[in-house]
Structure 1
């Protein structure tokens, strides 16, 4: 038996020589091993961006089987299964949970060199204690039974798992119209782990689809009891919801955008555009861009006023497959990296706010790796000397959330910024098992620094290196977000 953070599970091994996910996984030298095990491994987690179900946290859900906790909603796995020739019924369809698990197990051996192979076995080891029994069609039944036997235990409830992973703070992703009832319940229940909302107002500027926008707009009027007949009234109503989120612990916003919206516009332009919106008249493309630009500016101002952090997730090309979008809806694995030019508009967005001294702390994530150096150099133009790392080059995101992508992001940041001030990793996930990605990141970080030490590029000094490792893995985020004041 192995005992870890109160989880007692049987260890499965293929052989006794060497585990695949062993203590020194991804650590290629003795310095990397020392840095990870001494300074990174046992630090708590601040997961400041994810898509976890706050309802399941509040209700402390227990899962009936591993498919429910592992495969439901996981479009990373669905994409791999489809690529492997697996029928849709085993991804999102009517197949039983066992059949879906078996289909995934049969796919896993084909994911070699994809991060899914690493993540799968990291997640089987912690929390399930399955060490070096590789998942495939032959081991599927045994692993299925083992995991399902553990899931009814209290330590495998949602709250039990969060405690096991040493999560201290997490931020869900929430629409401004959300009641935040489950966040309130978690706070009322005095759960040890802080669960805060994040303000994601994408629907509030999605005027390219006026039918859907109107539904959101009407609910905003009802919630705020404001008759919205002008753009200024619209911003007033949005601000009411922004205030409501702040009162309920929110200290961070999030924006999923193709490009930074920063078109020139006048107040008269926006009022005329808003009049068309009120009349449900289709907008021209330049009007859509001006409206989004105005909204992003206003959101930025609100965030600055409350000392929030604004996150910009830039560059996704979404819902590429019309047939499957019509069948399954969004966020089901049919998105990709976009190929947009962002430099000029990003500079203008940041500069428009900075000129008025209204630029909030900002994290910028890119989905296209061609933009790494662009973002890393732009952010240096807007550091103000008052807040360490005020403008952040965000952790490698989505399709870049893998070993190669992490290394490139860390190296670019090191070359063109200060890696010592980086706020570190997040899961961006819908799964309660995905916190192993923090371990994955920490191992990669320690290996990069360890290799530099071994090659003589950095001094072999724990006094110098420990603050860097500890800061990036935990303490920088603690200082930057100031969740202790929420």
Structure 2
């Protein structure tokens, strides 16, 4: 019987083990999409308890705890003690077997704290006290955790109106790990609520120094902020969309729609779709002008539980996979940019695995030979960033594109303990390829090239693709 979480965890064959230990494990980490709090890096934050670093803001764990019958007071309440919250999480962990949380939990305990005990109610107090004590030492500050995991670059997720003061401070401090901003202009498209949209545009006007009285003014303000982001080292944009939009529209219509929503009047469904279609194209053109890589995360249905959304707010664990018929709109959107020769490097992340083959074939439509892997099928995202989801994504990409040009994994996380997700991905990748070699599906005599491919997917492709 194989031991749980040993050095060959997830590696089922000798070749898989060789590929991981000799090639993948040695590579640094480029975390090109995450949700780390930049202030924590800038201040080299010290975490008070294991609960703070592990459970704060982690909607994955909150969902599991609720499913296990844990009261909300132990998930999101600010009045419940850290120990009481952790105790409820420890009670839940044994019930997460076969959920990726079980693997992630124990991989993080092992790699960050050197703890190989299984987390359960029996071990909870010892683990909590040992980890919390270690977190009090300088070795476990935010920056030192990044060093511990050999992180080279992180790209945070930032709104156009953000000051980026923490990125600036971190750079001025001489911190050797690059923390770069990522341009996330989702609120420019969020016209469903007219008062909120007006308020956001007013904030954009203030930080940009551009008086906004119409659509063209808004675009000028946006471009000024984009210039500022570029000055701070930004190389990527990110766009969270429910689905793709590709309605027909005229410039006059878009200006009129902007005036209407900016004037506080609600838009109808057709106007919303036209406006979102136009803004997506504008943002795509801006990305191309800057030479940035654009990322599209699509397919989530957010804030499904109205009662708890009103009580707890967004990003608290009430989102799910959506079902959208988006292929034609996605194609039309990319084609609108491509016919102008303004389609920049692009990564598409789908949340519904039924879209895997569609996305894998869609990117092939817009590869143009100018850049290897110009169009990327992003790694398994959110509900899919686990062994099965990652394997399905890589299998679709392998069969319908070039896995060898894949830019690999990212954490997409708010936690400084999430870097083992890169290890988890690399082990899964090596197992997939190693099994193919063992089964005669790939030639054993090409093992040197295969090893180079593993290194490229783990690290080198991203370094070159993003020009880090």
Which of residues 87, 111, 130 in structure 2 aligns to 1:126? 111
The DSSP-based 3-state class of the residue aligned with 1:127 is helix
Q: How do 1:192-207 residues align onto structure 2 when only pairs under 5 Å count?
A: 192-207=176-191
Per-residue deviation at 1:344?
A: 0.2
The DSSP-based 3-state class of the residue aligned with 2:183 is coil
Aligned to 2:267: 283
Aligned to 1:345: 329
Q: Distance in 2 between matches of 1:402 and 1:323?
A: 29
| TM-score normalized with structure 2 length | 0.99
Aligned to 2:127: 143
Per-residue deviation at 1:19?
A: 5.0
Aligned length: 466
Q: Distance in 2 between matches of 1:225 and 1:166?
A: 40
Q: Distance in 1 between matches of 2:26 and 2:386?
A: 22
Q: Distance in 2 between matches of 1:185 and 1:275?
A: 38
The DSSP-based 3-state class of the residue aligned with 1:36 is helix
Residue 311 of structure 2 is aligned to residue 327 of structure 1? yes
Per-residue deviation at 1:20?
A: 2.1
Aligned to 2:87: 102
Per-residue deviation at 1:214?
A: 1.5
Which deviations, in whole Å up to 9, do the C-alpha atoms of 1:71-105 show, x marking residues without a partner? 00000000000000000000001210000000000
Which of residues 419, 422, 441 in structure 2 aligns to 1:457? 441
Runs of 4+ in 1 over 6 A off after TM superposition: none
Aligned to 1:30: 14
Q: Distance in 2 between matches of 1:98 and 1:233?
A: 51
Q: How do 1:59-458 residues align onto structure 2 when only pairs under 5 Å count?
A: 59-93=43-77, 94-131=79-116, 133-458=117-442
Which deviations, in whole Å up to 9, do the C-alpha atoms of 1:214-238 show, x marking residues without a partner? 1111111111221212211111111
2:197/2:262 contact within 8 Å kept: no
Unaligned runs of 5+ in 1: 1-16
Q: Distance in 2 between matches of 1:432 and 1:278?
A: 39
Q: Distance in 1 between matches of 2:167 and 2:86?
A: 31
Q: Distance in 2 between matches of 1:149 and 1:470?
A: 36
Unaligned runs of 5+ in 2: none
The DSSP-based 3-state class of the residue aligned with 1:168 is strand
| TM-score normalized with structure 1 length | 0.95
Q: Distance in 1 between matches of 2:2 and 2:437?
A: 26
CA shift in 2, pair 1:324/1:196, >3 Å: same
Per-residue deviation at 1:453?
A: 0.3
